[in-house]
Structure 1
Amino acid sequence: MQQSRSETQQQLWGSWTTMSNQVYSNPKVTQLMNSRVGQYLSGHPVLALSILFFCAMAAVPVGLFLGFAVVTAIMSAVGFVFFEGFLLFVSAIALLCVLSGLAVFSVMVSSIFTVFYITASSLVNYYYYHRPQLAKGEDDQQKNQDETPTDKMK
């Protein structure tokens, strides 16, 4: 049992060494490790591990926040379009109501003016129609008064 455990540990160590060599052979990792930050983190492995865990654990909340921000932006854009459409619909209905009210008002006013016109023209026609007859009737009365009773009998 002791031998199998040590063999397993050696295999794991060998695979770990191979994997770390592949990572360190990457040009970007090599550039980072040659910088001052990389050299400092190489000298302080606990700090490097803490930063690695922080970055790994912060990825989920940051990803959720960015997803929420993108969804909120999309929903606000779509909502803005629907809200603008709703406002246009309400304003179109309001305009329709105002124009309908104006049409009804103009029909009523024109009807009232038409009634006034017909009444005024009827009164004027009635007045001028009877006026000459009244004048003619007054002339007849004047003639009748000028005539003597004997003239009337003839």
Structure 2
Amino acid sequence: MQQSRSETQQQLWGSWTTMSNQVYSNPKVTQLMNSRVGQYLSGHPVLALSILFFCAMAAVPVGLFLGFAVVTAIMSAVGFVFFEGFLLFVSAIALLCVLSGLAVFSVMVSSIFTVFYITASSLVNYYYYHRPQLAKQGEDDQQKNQDETPTDKMK
């Protein structure tokens, strides 16, 4: 039983070494390990493990926050679009009512002015139509007065 355990440990150690070599052969990891931070972390494995755990555990809350922020931004945009659509609809109805009222008002005012115009032109035409007759009648009266002799007037 102890031999199977040591064989299992050797297999695990071999697979760990293979995986570690694959990670270290990545150019980005090599660049990080050659930097000051990488050299410091390889000299302090407990700190490196603490940072790894912190990053792994912080991923969930950060992911939830970013998801919440994205959903909130999308809902705000959609709500803004619907709210703006509603405001445009209400303002279009208000504009339609105002324009309809202006149309009715302009028809009423133009009708009133038309009635006043027809009445005034009829009165002016009536006055000027009868005026020449009155003037002619006045001239005829003057003619008659001039034709009469002073003796005729005394009679």
Aligned residues: 154
**Structure 1 residues 108-117 or 82-91, which shifts more?**
108-117
Match of 2:38 in 1: 38
How many angstroms does 1:6 deviate by? 2.1
**Structure 1 residues 25-34 or 144-153, which shifts more?**
144-153
How many angstroms does 1:40 deviate by? 1.0
| Residues 31 and 143 of structure 1: CA distance in aligned 2, closer, same or farther (over 3 Å) | closer
Cα RMSD of the aligned pairs, angstroms, is: 4.7
Deviations 1:11-40 (A, max 9, x none): 112211221122122222122112111111
**Please, what TM-score do these two structures have when normalized by structure 2?**
0.67
Deviations 1:60-108 (A, max 9, x none): 2222222333333333334333333332222211110001111222233
**Structure 1 residues 132-141 or 57-66, which shifts more?**
132-141
Q: Give the share of equivalent positions with the same residue, in percent.
A: 100
Give ranges in structure 1 of 5+ residues lacking alignment.
none
Match of 2:142 in 1: 141
**Structure 1 residues 105-114 or 48-57, which shifts more?**
105-114
How many angstroms does 1:150 deviate by? 21
Give ranges in structure 2 of 5+ residues lacking alignment.
none
How many angstroms does 1:48 deviate by? 0.4
How many angstroms does 1:52 deviate by? 0.5
Return the alpha-carbon distance in structure 1 between the equivalents of residues 153 and 31 of structure 2.
Answer: 146
